[in-house]
């Protein structure tokens, strides 16, 4: 057990991460601002619009990943309903503290008829799958940034450990937890390793697609070669992985931008790296809001359509 003093120290360190990251980015912007006119960059509106539209598709794919996780756990819910819940709850991560996205989604899932055990396990699996898959896709950027010669067997060992973390033996252990949480999990089906690997494969494809869209976003400002675009996509995944780990920072604000700025210096001028890091936050938040609006419209349309197809009540029946 940690002492009260140790817990307070950890809490103070956590509170320093966000202002330190924001200060780092503010200093970087201040030093690079006057150099913006000196670099060869030009905004291509067509590529920017195309990257934004593709970003919205990627966000829907991310939300659908949670639907697939629920489905694997035996939950029956309409895709548009689970996507709407995911979209709304995802915005709550910008609130202080790391618990709000989980609490919001669990509450909305309960209102939609999903029991606590299924909702809790789906959130656990989604977070774990997103973190593991983002780290796998971000490995090339991590290896390049650290400039360490990593043999293939070490990479294989890392991937093996990641797979072992999400194997089915974890669920029986979670079911033995005391209290309400353990009881809620007791009736859930145990997922096979094949199902978990398929879900992991889905999220790997998601990060690859997200990285490709991020490459289009950069291409709207600065031309990248194929391998530079691949590296930039890997950097994006790694920056999100860092944001997942530092979960107590609202939305990873400052953390993700700092990681992007430092890691993109390998392929972009310093000034442009700042622009991309800061601009990507605005790009992503705009995509999140647009995706939420579209998800709400889709859910409303599907509910209205389903209501219109209901047969008229038989005369004499209530």
Domain positions in the chain: 42-303
Q: Please say whether the beta carbons of 61 and 207 come within 8 A.
A: no
From CA 288, how far away is CA 148, in angstroms rounded?
36
b/e code 224-250 from CB counts within 10 Å (16+ = b): beeebbbbbbbbbbbbbbbbbebbebb
b/e code 81-90 from CB counts within 10 Å (16+ = b): bbbbbbbbbb
Q: In this predicted model, what pLDDT tens digit does every residue of 91-110 receive, in sequence order?
A: 777 666 567 777 888 888 88
Higher pLDDT, 187 or 11: 187
Higher pLDDT, 309 or 19: 309
**pLDDT for residue 185:** 59
From CA 213, how far away is CA 206, in angstroms rounded?
11
Residues across the chain: 318
pTM of the model: 0.76
| Contacts for 195 with CB less than 8 Å, ≥ 6 apart | 72
Q: In this predicted model, what pLDDT tens digit does every residue of 137-192 receive, in sequence order?
A: 998 888 887 776 666 566 667 766 766 665 556 666 666 666 665 665 566 666 77
b/e code 4-34 from CB counts within 10 Å (16+ = b): eeeeeeeeeeeeeebeebbebbeebbeebee
Q: In this predicted model, what pLDDT tens digit does every residue of 14-63 receive, in sequence order?
A: 444 445 444 444 444 444 445 455 555 577 889 999 999 999 999 999 99
Q: In this predicted model, what pLDDT tens digit does every residue of 198-248 receive, in sequence order?
A: 998 999 999 999 999 999 999 888 888 889 999 999 999 998 888 777 654
Angle at CA of residue 13, ends 26 and 241, nearest 5° = 70
Which two three-digit tokens encode residue 176? Answer: 């033995």
From CA 167, how far away is CA 199, in angstroms rounded?
12
């Amino acid at each position: 057990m940690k002492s009260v003093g140790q817990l307070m120290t950890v809490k103070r360190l956590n509170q320093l991460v966000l202002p330190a990251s924001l200060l780092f980015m503010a200093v970087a912007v201040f030093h690079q601002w006057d150099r913006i006119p000196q670099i060869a960059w030009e905004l291509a509106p067509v590529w920017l619009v195309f990257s934004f539209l593709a970003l919205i598709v990627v966000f829907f794919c991310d939300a659908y990943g949670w639907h697939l996780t629920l489905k694997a756990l035996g939950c029956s819910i309409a895709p548009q309903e689970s996507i709407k819940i995911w979209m709304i709850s995802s915005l709550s991560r910008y609130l202080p503290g790391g618990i709000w996205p989980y609490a919001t989604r669990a509450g909305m899932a309960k209102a939609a008829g999903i029991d606590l055990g299924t909702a809790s396990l789906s959130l656990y699996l989604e977070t774990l799958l997103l973190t593991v898959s983002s780290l796998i896709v971000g490995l090339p950027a991590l290896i390049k940034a650290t400039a360490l010669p990593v043999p293939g067997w070490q990479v294989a060992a890392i991937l093996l450990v990641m797979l072992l973390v999400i194997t089915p033996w974890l669920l029986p252990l979670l079911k033995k937890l005391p209290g309400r949480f353990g009881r809620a999990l007791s009736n859930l089906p145990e997922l096979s390793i094949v199902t978990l690997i398929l879900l992991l494969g889905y999220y790997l494809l998601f990060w690859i697609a997200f990285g490709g869209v991020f490459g289009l976003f950069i291409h709207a400002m600065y031309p990248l070669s194929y391998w530079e675009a691949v590296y930039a996509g890997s950097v994006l995944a790694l920056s999100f992985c860092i944001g997942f780990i530092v979960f107590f920072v609202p939305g990873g604000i400052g953390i993700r931008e700092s990681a992007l700025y430092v890691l993109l210096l390998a392929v972009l001028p310093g000034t442009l790296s700042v622009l991309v890091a800061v601009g990507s936050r605005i790009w992503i938040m705009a995509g999140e809001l647009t995706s939420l609006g579209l998800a709400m419209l889709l859910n409303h349309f599907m509910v209205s359509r389903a209501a219109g197809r209901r047969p008229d009540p038989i005369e004499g029946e209530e």
